[in-house]
Amino acid sequence: MQTRRQFLRTSAMVGAGAMLLRNRAWAFSQSPTGLKKWITPLNGLGPTGIPVATPNTTQFPGSDWYKLVGGPYKQQVHPNLPATTFYGYSDDRVGAPQRYLGGLIVAQRNRPVRITMRNNLPTPHILPVDKSSFFPDATANDNMMAVHMHGALAPWISDGGPFSWYTPGGTYGPDKNFPPDMQAVGITPPGSYSYYYPNNQQARLLWYHDHAHDLTRLNAYAGLATGLILRDNFENALIAARIIPGGAYEVPLVLQDKGFNADGSLFYPHIYEGPPTGQDLASMTYANLGTLTGRWDGATGVGVLPIPDPSCVPEAFFDTIIINGAVYPYLPVEQRRYRFRLLNGSQARFYNLQLVKDDGTAGGVTLAPLGTLLDPNLNPVLTPKNQPGPSMMQIGTEGGFLTKPVVLSNAPITYDAVTGNPVTYSLVIAPGERADVIIDFSAMPVGTKLILYNDAPGPFPGGDIRNDYYEGCPDLSVIGGSKPTAAGYGPNTRTMMQFQVKARVGAADPYNFAQTLALLNSALPGSGFVPLSPVAPNSPANFPIRQLTLNEDFDGFGRLTQRMGTMVATGLDTTVTPNVPTYGRNYADVATEIVKAGDTEIWEIYNTTADTHPIHFHLVDVQVLGRATFTTVGIPPADSQFRPPDANESAFKETVRMNPGEVIRVIMKFTLPVAPFTIPLSTRTGVAGHEYVYHCHILEHEEHDMMRPLIVTP
């Protein structure tokens, strides 16, 4: 039987037969079942919630300097769960609060931020570390860290690339390079690293997280991640005029899925669960669960090495939702507008967010099949019977404000019967993506309860029923899923948090939802967005086009690995039949994406894999031009077949969803940041230039090995 992976690579197009997902899994459901929903308050900003970092404003005149430390701490994230040991950031001073998402920074455009981060990570790591030959840096140092300011226009020496890692003992990776005025030991002690961020970008939500080579997936999952809110005069004016909410009515929501052991410790999978020898890949339906217990493809044969334990895994989906460091939280909201700054900080899980009214049942949501619609694995599409809640108005992405606001319906995901890709949805947000939304609760009666609901499958978009946790689900424990979820408790990845409407305090907002929409339709074109391509969104225009591929292969241990590549084959994949060319390249392979500073290029990226990949570009904001289903890799469909980007992708982005069987066109200009010092060139790759990367932001994909160098030459 031909596997889904083989079908995609040999036919180079997606069909209904290709959507039979890869093999399934042993238990990823580890969290205790007594985690009751809606009894934990959402953490806001402040010392008892999310600590905001405090800068030194005098050491470097004109800059805010933050002295931070990354290390372990304990925090209880649910009353029925013992305290969990996390890694996290905090102010580097005695008595500074250590809390989930600590070290959050609020910055102003054109006022640089400097960070000196001290590494205080322990060894051994709190999570299982793959120390096989594929992960040499983790083998040598399992307490490395590297800070990447995700979304920043930063000098490459401050980008926090994978090889800029460092240890508490003062060992540094090959890309060690500090800003010249921060090299003194008094500023950057051994075991620390210093960074410079010009902040000459439009207002946006950035986030900084670990990016150490071989350990990114583990360090970020353990908690080394938080936000940076960048303001500018345009945004400040909108807040001052009360066109958009501010102050207490601007709330960050960092969405993640986690797994917990009974003692409160973090669970992370470390056994590669491949198929039994000779077992075909097949779909798994509720009607016929079968006996499939593997999760991923696996290669066998001459030259394949025994899989290590601990082992990396191709992706990790967990059973418990945690938002701002609270499990299944609730948030009281007044009868007025709120602005929510959403960030998907999960490893691999996508979300399709909707608001529904709590129906008063123990779990708050009652699911039913959506007519006769089926998902790509031929299971019924389940959707809440609840009344819909208020609509969301999206006003920005990770690249800043949109050119106009977009009203999102509370729509479930439905799928194209041929490609298996989603055709209707509400707010889809992939790992690494951000969404800036306004919700108006003013028309909701006091006492109304609303649930933030998600129905995105994992993996996206094909899905595996064992990664979908909800009340009333079948008993999947015999095949590696969970037992049925009790109403009102976890595990649950569909009902994420609850909003509880209370009476408004003080005067009403000056504008209702419709008035806000009209005002922003007029105001947002003034945010400063200038399109990179003045032509129709589905046209390649007169810019050079670079063609690239997204690929799945096997590594030397027979494990599924995701890789990026060009149109030049790197050899034959001998682990499948028939043998077909593979285009995938490893991160450490010779750099192929070498561009010149100031140039503008269109990248045409062909996804030959079974997953949607959120590709994150360091350095550049990109503009999505269009997507189309392709027949042959490297031969684009006619321009007329490219559909334009979604309305909420209409401005800049730096993390872009790329669907199976589709080619996407994105345009970008390679503008280097300006710094008050000479930025040295990197020669690590053999090319003298400014060394960045681009990669999939499914962290398990990024690390094994869906990441490539991006070298910008002067």
Prior bond of 124 cis (ω within 30°): yes
Would you state the pLDDT for residue 538? 53
Average pLDDT over residues 692-696: 98
Residue 496 has pLDDT above 60, yes or no: yes
- Count CB atoms within 10 A of the CB of residue 486: 16
Would you state the pLDDT for residue 273? 86
Residue 585 has pLDDT above 60, yes or no: yes
In-domain check, residue 16: no
In-domain check, residue 440: yes
Among 693, 699, 537, CA closest to 628: 537
Distance CA 322, CA 261 (A): 15
Residue 14 has pLDDT above 70, yes or no: no
Would you state the pLDDT for residue 573? 63
Local confidence band at 438 (pLDDT 50, 70, 90 cut-offs): very high
Would you state the pLDDT for residue 482? 87
Q: Kindly state the percentage of the chain with pLDDT values over 70.
A: 91
For 596-654, what is each residue's pLDDT tens digit?
999 999 999 999 999 999 999 999 999 999 999 999 999 999 989 999 999 999 899 99
In-domain check, residue 198: yes
Among 658, 645, 663, CA closest to 613: 658
Average pLDDT over residues 323-329: 98
Determine which of 111-125, 524-538, 569-583, 632-646 has the lowest per-residue pLDDT on average: 569-583
User: Same domain for 410 and 434?
Assistant: yes
CATH of the domain at 659: 2.60.40.420
What is the pTM for the complete model shown?
A: 0.95
E strand segments, 92-199 = 105-108, 113-119, 147-150, 192-197
Local confidence band at 536 (pLDDT 50, 70, 90 cut-offs): low
User: Same domain for 420 and 497?
Assistant: yes
Residue 663 has pLDDT above 90, yes or no: yes
What are the DSSP calls for 211-274, one per residue?
A: --TTTHHHHHHHT-EEEEEEE-HHHHHHHHTTSS--GGGEEEEEEEEE-B-TTSPBP---S---
For 28-86, what is each residue's pLDDT tens digit?
889 999 999 999 999 999 888 999 999 999 999 999 999 999 999 999 999 999 999 99
Average pLDDT over residues 297-302: 81
Would you state the pLDDT for residue 292? 61
In-domain check, residue 30: no
Local confidence band at 106 (pLDDT 50, 70, 90 cut-offs): very high
- Per-residue b/e over 519-550, b at no fewer than 16 CB within 10 Å? bbeebbeebebeebbeeebbebeebeeebbbb
Residue 13 has pLDDT above 50, yes or no: no
Please name the residue that has the structure tokens 């292969």: 553
In-domain check, residue 629: yes
Residues 6+ positions from 455 with CB-CB distance below 8 Å: 352, 354, 382, 383, 412, 413, 494
Number of domains in the chain: 3
β pairing state of 655-658 and 613-617: antiparallel
pLDDT: is 283 or 130 the higher one?
130
User: Same domain for 472 and 608?
Assistant: no
The SS3 of residue 556 is: coil
User: Same domain for 213 and 69?
Assistant: yes
Residues 6+ positions from 358 with CB-CB distance below 8 Å: 364, 365, 386, 448, 449, 450, 451, 498
User: Same domain for 590 and 486?
Assistant: no
- Count CB atoms within 10 A of the CB of residue 309: 11
In-domain check, residue 125: yes
User: Same domain for 569 and 708?
Assistant: yes
Would you state the pLDDT for residue 20? 28
User: Same domain for 430 and 550?
Assistant: no
Residue 115 has pLDDT above 80, yes or no: yes
Domain span at residue 564 reads 532-713
Distance CA 220, CA 343 (A): 14
Which residue, 462, 491, 526, sits at the end of a domain?
526
Residue 25 has pLDDT above 50, yes or no: no
| Alpha-carbon torsion angle 316, 319, 324, 329, nearest 10 | 170
Among 620, 196, 658, CA closest to 399: 620
Residue 291 has pLDDT above 90, yes or no: no
Q: Is 312 exposed, middle or buried (0-12, 13-18, 19+ CB in 10 A)?
A: buried
Residue 657 tokens read as 């969803």
User: Same domain for 483 and 575?
Assistant: no
Which residue, 231, 260, 277, sits at the end of a domain?
231
Residue 116 tokens read as 């000196």
Which residue, 199, 216, 231, sits at the end of a domain?
231
User: Same domain for 97 and 210?
Assistant: yes
User: Same domain for 573 and 445?
Assistant: no
Would you state the pLDDT for residue 23? 35
Residue 388 has pLDDT above 90, yes or no: yes
pLDDT: is 201 or 277 the higher one?
201
pLDDT: is 686 or 280 the higher one?
686
Residue 21 has pLDDT above 80, yes or no: no
Would you state the pLDDT for residue 107? 98
In-domain check, residue 451: yes
Residue 49 tokens read as 């919630």
Average pLDDT over residues 363-370: 96
In-domain check, residue 473: yes
Residues 6+ positions from 293 with CB-CB distance below 8 Å: 24, 25, 26, 273, 276, 479, 480
For 471-493, what is each residue's pLDDT tens digit?
989 888 877 788 899 999 999 99
Would you state the pLDDT for residue 479? 78
User: Same domain for 88 and 153?
Assistant: yes
Residue 17 has pLDDT above 60, yes or no: no
Distance CA 605, CA 587 (A): 17
Would you state the pLDDT for residue 541? 67
User: Same domain for 481 and 540?
Assistant: no
